[in-house]
Structure 1
Amino acid sequence: MRFVSKLGTKRRTYAQQKAFWGFMYVLPWLLGFLFFFVMPLAASMQYSLSKIDANASGMTISFIGFQNYVEALTINTQFNRTLTESIVNMVVNVPLIVVFSLFLAVLLNQKFVGRAFARSIFFLPVILASGVIANLDTQSLVQAVTEQSSGTSGTFSSAFSSFELQRIMLRAGVNEDIVLYLTGAVDRIYEIVSQSGVQILIFLAGIQTISPQLYEASKIEGATGYEAFWKITFPMVSPLILVNMIYTIIDSFSRNTMTELIMDTGFRTFNFGLSSAMAWIYFLSIMIILLISTYLVSKKVFYQD
């Protein structure tokens, strides 16, 4: 009987072995997901529905229902304004970052001297943002350097250039809303460039997987570079546009004034209940925006069979 049982374990099927080792492979992630995501998420939901009093003996949690949510939406003077600003900045920045990343990826895919160096330059902000420089106010740093080198002329020249661009486009008959959107993009060019490194790499990797025979066939048929981009490159990288859009939305929501307000409410004023309620409202807002944007963009995505 012992020999049969041992033999039975040795004769485990290939599918069973794959399932076992696959489970062992993802087990660390499952444990991390359970202890570092599911449990804090459940605790955050409990805190958002409770009043928390911290004292020397510990924390006292008393259930108060949706009072924290009501306070965040109707009483707190900063939450609604900060949430609206975060959503507006996301709506403005995400299309600009995705378009800019695709444009740079197409350029960096061309053959020219110093291509590797140029690629590293555009990915450098991602490396810097992961270290000590991420804790600095980069906009204030750039503004301080500009003012130190040229006084207030840098700010004045930037505003003047945006005004000139706006005046030229309005004279050309461009819609006023489009003009305001584009001039706003000029004013926030540093923010766009600094948040485009990962997206450029994703687009660049996707463009390099496109078969060169497609471009050769298009040249034989007399297609221009402009037509090759819209008929070949753009449809082939459209799945990556969806990926980069989702990544950029999450990235824009993960570091802004809204997250600072939530952290200050929880760890400076020690109002953990209100902070948790703000975080859940913020989380639900992000989920709604992701669902809507994913649904709209996924309908236009081209998948090659």
Structure 2
Amino acid sequence: MSNNHHKTKKHKAIKRRRLTLKQQRSILGYLFISPFIIGFLLLFLTPLIQSFIYSMNNLTVTSTGYELDYIKWENYNQVLRVNPDFVPALLSTVTQLVSKVPVVLIFSLFAASLLNAKFKGRAFARSVFFLPVILTSGIILAMESSDLLVSSAQLIAEDNMQSSSGQLMQFLQFRRLLYSMNIPPAIINFLVLAVDQIYEIVIASGVQILIFLAALQSIPIALYEASTMDGATAWENFWKITFPMISPLIIVNAVYSIIDTFTHPDNEMMSMIQTTIFSQSNFGTGSAMAWIYLATVAVMLIIMSVVLVKSLARYQY
């Protein structure tokens, strides 16, 4: 009797120690993000706190270091109410984000769907779509902005002035064609802006294409086979199977695209903050700009996430 009691007690102890599937996934998720958490605490938390302190003070560099003069919210007031360039640049960046991110997501999903099909040279095509990510990183990006390349680009632009004017006429004809089709002006402006930024869209879509491609390849083929046998068309398969299965990755790509757009080196706000801090040595004002910009990024991420979660909820299983 005591032996059976001991086995029952041991079995209950083992059962209590056994984690549920949700707990196992939570632990696995924390393991995946642990490098970021450790890196943030060790490398970024202290500079982040110092940046906020600088934004609340007037920093003066001295021979022995620097001195802080506490001025409360004066730097923020200077940036938002006195500086004539900050607010227009911030609005321009937000407008660019709103127009660019949806196009990047649509293009990435379209390109991933094409690359997921079976054809000869598929591996080469995938590398070509990811090549812009490599070309816009590190030293390559610095070379693009060097004086040599800038001067070469200016010479090419001068030589091709006539062809550019011809392209401008074609661009106006494209807008006129859309108006003749009675398309709403908001959609026309969106399409025209997307065509005008096609180079930037391709450059910014490499990582998103890979994420969508991985999601597409994780969908079981048996689902498509069963759906096709029931008479579903390719269009129905996309909206009933493909889109619901990859919808969580749309939110991931949207968050990545927003952060990538806001932190890109060519971003007007990033250039303004860097110039204010490093060229003008105005650390307090530059830090205030950075914190306002960070708050804007956070608000845009929250709005985009809420909108996407509510919009995609009906498509998820």
Instruction: With the length of structure 1 as denominator, give the TM-score of the two structures.
Output: 0.86
Which residue in 2 is equivalent to 1:61? 68
The alpha-carbon distance between structure 1 residues 102 and 157, as it changes in their structure 2 partners (threshold 3 A), is: farther
Inter-partner Cα distance in structure 1 for 2:160 and 2:138? 29
Contact 1:125 1:197 in 2 (8 A): yes
Contact 1:52 1:273 in 2 (8 A): yes
Inter-partner Cα distance in structure 1 for 2:191 and 2:31? 51
Local SS of the residue matching 2:312: coil
Inter-partner Cα distance in structure 2 for 1:301 and 1:152? 46
Structure 1 residue 284 and structure 2 residue 295: aligned?
Answer: yes
The alpha-carbon distance between structure 1 residues 233 and 23, as it changes in their structure 2 partners (threshold 3 A), is: closer
Structure 1 residue 90 and structure 2 residue 101: aligned?
Answer: no
The alpha-carbon distance between structure 1 residues 291 and 30, as it changes in their structure 2 partners (threshold 3 A), is: closer
1:250 to 243, 253, 259: 259
* Number of aligned residue pairs: 287
Inter-partner Cα distance in structure 2 for 1:276 and 1:252? 20
**What CA deviation, in whole Å up to 9, does each residue of 1:92-133 have, x standing for no partner?**
100000000000000110111111111111100001112322
The alpha-carbon distance between structure 1 residues 168 and 83, as it changes in their structure 2 partners (threshold 3 A), is: same
CA RMSD, 1 decimal: 2.7
Inter-partner Cα distance in structure 2 for 1:223 and 1:25? 38
Which residue in 1 is equivalent to 2:129? 122
Matches within 5 A, 1:183-202: 183-202=192-211
1:264 to 269, 275, 287: 275
Instruction: With the length of structure 2 as denominator, give the TM-score of the two structures.
Output: 0.83
Inter-partner Cα distance in structure 2 for 1:25 and 1:113? 35
Local SS of the residue matching 1:299: helix
TM superposition outliers: structure 1 runs of 4+ over 4 Å: 22-31, 138-146, 302-305
Which residue in 1 is equivalent to 2:186? 177
**What CA deviation, in whole Å up to 9, does each residue of 1:4-40 have, x standing for no partner?**
xxxxxxxxxx99xx9xxx9999887555322311111
Which residue in 2 is equivalent to 1:274? 285
2:246 to 198, 215, 237: 237
Inter-partner Cα distance in structure 2 for 1:158 and 1:194? 21
The alpha-carbon distance between structure 1 residues 232 and 196, as it changes in their structure 2 partners (threshold 3 A), is: same
Inter-partner Cα distance in structure 1 for 2:151 and 2:221? 44
Which residue in 2 is equivalent to 1:11? none
- Structure 2 unaligned regions, length at least 5: 1-16, 19-23
Which residue in 1 is equivalent to 2:234? 225
The alpha-carbon distance between structure 1 residues 30 and 186, as it changes in their structure 2 partners (threshold 3 A), is: closer
Inter-partner Cα distance in structure 2 for 1:232 and 1:23? 29
Contact 1:98 1:244 in 2 (8 A): yes
The alpha-carbon distance between structure 1 residues 98 and 154, as it changes in their structure 2 partners (threshold 3 A), is: farther
Inter-partner Cα distance in structure 1 for 2:116 and 2:231? 22
The alpha-carbon distance between structure 1 residues 50 and 249, as it changes in their structure 2 partners (threshold 3 A), is: same
Local SS of the residue matching 2:298: helix
- Structure 1 unaligned regions, length at least 5: 1-13
Contact 2:247 2:316 in 1 (8 A): no
